[in-house]
Chains A and B, each alone.
Chain A
């Protein structure tokens, strides 16, 4: 599932956290796009160009177009080297591209853009970039646009996160257990039910994706096969066993509610020795024995 993320167009959100960083996955997806022959634009705001290109070979680096907003994003140096319009201008320029092939735009990071730009402007621009159906000039269909946005989950409140989630076709949330990373992929295809899958993976040093089945067995604790089960009936201070005589006595005992034929006879036979029981009742002077209201509590 993770390697077919780029098959759909639109916005893919990579949500990472401090413990599980997402830049390696972003780079792995960028490498995949480049190897498929797509043109890749990187909007780099958080790390330097050298650091982003590190680990890619020259074939991939040649296909990457890096827009450097790391060095001077706010134009503090005033040397004129900063790209005009800032990151937003560059993003808007990508809406008006003229070439027709499929293109991948990687935003490193979407969190930086969200902290520095108003949420509504950013969402409108992202929508415009990821939904380009036809070239404005002659109406011929344009190749698919994939927008990969790296988002740091802890930095934003539920409002902006919800807005970006609703814009995104796919959301990948990074997590994992000790030593093994996982990606929870929530995919919303048009006119289909959203799918939710978890994929275990690891990123190799050359930024290719290695999909795995699950956390490796070695990381789970073993039960020791050499310890024999302990016998709980040994070393007790009381006697759990019956001798032969005790067993016989137990077996010959009749239970009180077992209705055998002797018992039936004994019950039916009248017992002359036992006198019938009498009830002696002397009514008090004020007792009014009313058979219809013996308790005298009807209030009519």
Chain B
């Protein structure tokens, strides 16, 4: 996790809010550093994490996680992390007979399917276990990312329904958190992606938007991060609803600064 981002969001692993949906979106840049941040953040907060990783392999997240101070292999072995490696297990849908539907069963269906098997996988992974072992604090669902589900043939409404049911189970019943990444198509007109992004934005408590700079690529400033808080807990407090910072990604950390205040130009 990046301590500077924790400061901006005014949160630490010990006192994070529960029952929230955080939406990460990126436009013209790569927002996956936010996924790595939240993965290591919640593992350090001693949460039970279910990670639906559809984009990269387990070893990729493990390597980046080690730079940020968490060991995914050990977390998986002791049961803290349930990892669905989409790239590997998608093949199982076709080549291995399963008794119950595979989480990615929709890949086999000809017409527009739904994500009920995936939801049941998540519910099974995060349900509280009463075996008396060291309890985890609260469950967290992480999805990287949702836009690829649209590319695989699902409709935006099917993905919204999946997140709806996850919110019911993870946020409402189990008082846990959900973090999802959606790409913003930007100039390219993609109606389904826009419906998904806007629909999720209306349900989110926190939206982190990583954008490329309007002026193009830069060596010292990699992009701009917009933070939007929705549904503040106290409705009358005039807290800043939206903040914008620029950032630079380094090997093991990300540094944030106010617009125009990059150390390179000061």
Residue numbers of A with Cβ under 8 A of B are 18-19, 21, 24, 46, 48, 55, 70-74, 76, 111, 115-116, 152, 154-155, 157, 179, 203-205
Contact = CB atoms under 8 A, between A and B. Distances in A.
B168 A18 contact: no
A179 B165 CA distance: 33
B157 interface: yes
A204 B199 contact: no
A115 B191 CA distance: 13
Contact of B161 (A18, A74, A154): A74
Interface stretch (B73-81, B134-142, B231-239): B231-239
Given A111-B199, A152-B202, 5 more contacts: A18-B228, A55-B235, A155-B195, A155-B198, A204-B236
Given A46-B203, A115-B157, A152-B199, A71 B231 contact: no
Contact of A154 (B198, B230, B238): B198
A203 B116 contact: no
A78 B195 CA distance: 28
Interface of B: 114, 116, 119, 157, 160-161, 164-165, 168, 172, 191, 194-195, 198-199, 201-203, 207, 228, 230-231, 234-236, 238
Contact of A70 (B160, B168, B199): B168
Closest 7 A-B residue pairs measured CB to CB? A154-B198, A18-B201, A48-B172, A152-B202, A115-B157, A205-B236, A155-B198
A101 B64 CA distance: 63
Contacts of B119: 76
Contact of B235 (A24, A48, A70): A24
B157 A18 contact: no
B231 A154 contact: no
B162 to A, nearest CB: 10
B116 A18 contact: no
Given A73-B164, A115-B157, A154 B235 contact: no
A157 B195 CA distance: 10
A180 to B, nearest CB: 10
Contacts of B160: 115
B199 A155 contact: yes
A71 B194 contact: no
Contacts of B194: 154
Contacts of A116: 157
Contacts of A115: 157, 160, 195, 199
Nearest to B201: A18
A73 B116 CA distance: 13
Contacts of A154: 194, 198
Given A155-B195, A155-B199, A76 B230 contact: no
B235 A203 contact: yes
Contact of A71 (B114, B168, B201, B202): B168
Contacts of B116: 76
Nearest to B230: A21
A48 B230 CA distance: 17
Nearest to A154: B198
A21 B202 contact: yes
A111 B198 CA distance: 11
Contacts of A203: 235
Given A46-B203, A76-B165, A155-B199, A179 B238 contact: yes
Contacts of B236: 204-205
A157 to B, nearest CB: 8
B118 to A, nearest CB: 11
A111 to B, nearest CB: 8
Nearest to A70: B168
Contacts of A24: 235
A72 B202 CA distance: 19
B18 to A, nearest CB: 14
A157 B236 CA distance: 33
Contacts of B230: 18, 21
Contact of B198 (A70, A72, A152, A204): A152
A19 B201 CA distance: 9
A148 B157 CA distance: 23
21 contacts: A18-B198, A18-B201, A18-B207, A21-B230, A24-B235, A70-B172, A72-B168, A73-B164, A74-B161, A76-B116, A76-B119, A115-B157, A115-B160, A116-B157, A152-B199, A152-B202, A154-B198, A155-B195, A157-B191, A203-B235, A205-B234
